[in-house]
Amino acid sequence: MTAATAVLGYTLRTNLRARRWWALLLAWAAAVMFGLLSFASDEPRQEAFAVAADHGLFALLIPIGCLVIGDAVLGAEMRAGTFHFTWLSPVPTHTIVLGRWLGGWLIALAALVPAVALSAIVARSPDAIGALSLATAAGSAAYIGLFVLIGCVTRRAAVWSLAVVFLVERLLGAALSGVAQLSPMWESRAVYAGLGPDADELLRDGVPDGWAAVARLAIITVVVLVLASWRLRRPRLAAASD
């Protein structure tokens, strides 16, 4: 097995544990609930679902799900003190980062894409599944990369991750389109806005939508992964101890 495959296998093995199935069920239950919410509105079915997806899926489910997964694949291990098994090896840091990110992304895809699809089915908007899945996949790629980077950079990853999602993305991103353009939350929403059926309400000036948003998310992913590889070359794993 090559080193890269080994890192990927390790990431999947350490994070896919029996006790975590309840988290998956919770995510799916939440998605179903957001799908049902679309019936509370008087608007036509697909437009109502777009709004429910906006408030529920893109604003809450996807960021929170990716936050927990993205921290678990790297940051949590650095804080738990088992990262040295991986770092004390000749494997280049970019391979380590890629392996961890890919593991996290695969887990996010397996957890979140079925959830959002379920949401669309429950809302009786099956046409939305394609665009929704694409938006989720692209958004989680960028999010997982972002949280991997935060885990590399600071021990207080919980604080910074929550601050980025809820202060920077939700607050600042709502006000400033300059921030929204760089935000996985807004860009994944914009993917759906451009490609989803009757989702025009979600379009926003100054934020690229549809396939342009997918490209934007890919760029964000690459940038954060490069930064993480660079940062990991000089890790801060030790605190004062003896």
Partner 1 sequence: MTDAVSAVGAVYDRGYRPYDGIRRGRAGTVAALYVASIRRALGIRRSWRQKVFPWVLLAIVTVPAVVNVGIGYVTRDTPAEGFSFITYREYVGVSSALLLFVALTAPDVVCPDRRHRVLSLIFARPLVGHDYVLAKVGAVTTIVFGFSILPQIVLFVGQMLVSDGALDYLRDNAEVLWQVPVAAGLLAVYYAAIGVAVASLTSRRIVGGVALLALALVPSVITGAILGSDDATGAVAVGNLLALPLHLRDVVFLGHVDPDGPLGGVAGAGLMAAAVYTAVLVAAVTILAVRYREPDA
Partner 2 sequence: MSTGDPTQAATGSGHPTQAATGSGDPAFAAEATVEVAELSVWFGPKVALSELSCSFGPGVTGLLGPNGAGKTTLMRAMTGLLGPKSGSVRVLGQDPRRSREVQRSLALVPEDEAVPPALTARQLVRYVADLHGVAARMAVERCLEEVDLIDVADRRVGGFSKGMRQRAKVAAALVADPTVLVLDEPLNGTDPVQRAHLIALFRRLGAQGRTVIVSSHVLHEVERLAERQIVLLNGRLAAAGGHRAIRDTMADRPRRVLVRTPQARQLAASLLGIDAVSGVTVDDGSLVVSSSRAGEVAVALPRLARDLATRLEEVRPLDDSLESLFRELVR
**Chain contacts with partner 1 (rule: CB under 8 A):** 30, 33-34, 37-38, 40-42, 51-52, 55-56, 59-60, 64, 67-68, 71, 76, 156-159, 161-163, 166-167, 170-171
- Answer for which of 91, 174, 179, 227 binds partner 2 (CB under 8 A) is 91
| 3-state secondary structure labels for all residues of the chain | CCHHHHHHHHHHHHHCCHHHHHHHHHHHHHHHHHHHHHHHCCCCHHHHHHHHHHHHHHHHHHHHHHHHHHHHHHHHHHHHCCCHHHHCCCCCHHHHHHHHHHHHHHHHHHHHHHHHHHHHHHCCCHHHHHHHHHHHHHHHHHHHHHHHHHHHHCCCHHHHHHHHHHHHHHHHHHHCHHHHCCCHHHHHHHHHHHHCCCCHHHCCCCCCCCHHHHHHHHHHHHHHHHHHHHHHCCCCCCCCCC
CB-wise, 84 or 156, nearer to partner 2? 84
Cα–Cα distance measured from residue 103 to residue 99, given in angstroms and rounded to the nearest whole number: 6
Which one of partner 1, partner 2, none is in contact with 38 (Cβ closer than 5 to 8 A by kind)? partner 1
Q: Which of partner 1, partner 2, none has residue 41 at its interface (CB below 5 to 8 Å by kind)?
A: partner 1
- The reply to whether 5 sits near partner 2 by the rule CB under 8 A is yes
- Is 42 buried (19+), middle (13-18) or exposed (0-12) by CB count in 10 A? exposed
Q: Measured in Å, how far apart are the chain's first and last C-alpha atoms?
A: 36
Among 39, 87, 174, 197, binds partner 2 (CB under 8 A): 87
- Binding residue (CB under 8 A) for partner 2 from 89, 162, 163, 219: 89
Identity at 12, one-letter amino acid code? L
Closer CB to partner 1, residue 1 or residue 240?
240
Q: Which does 218 bind (CB under 5 to 8 A by kind): partner 1, partner 2, none?
A: none
Q: Quick one: what does residue 7 bind among partner 2, partner 1, none, with the CB cut-off 5 to 8 Å set by partner type? A: partner 2
By C-alpha distance, which of 195, 187, 185, 202 is closest to 127?
Answer: 195
Tell me how far, at minimum, the Cβ of 14 lies from partner 2, in Å: 5
- Nearer Cβ to partner 2, position 94 or 170? 94
**Minimum CB–partner distance for residue 99 and partner 2 (Å):** 10
Q: Which of 81, 110, 176, 200 binds partner 2 (CB under 8 A)?
A: 81
**Of residues 14-33, which lie at the interface with partner 2 (CB under 8 A)?**
14, 17
Nearest approach in angstroms of CB 1 to partner 2 is 5
Interface residues with partner 2 (CB under 8 A) are: 1-3, 5-7, 9-10, 13-14, 17, 77, 80-82, 84-93, 233-235, 237-242
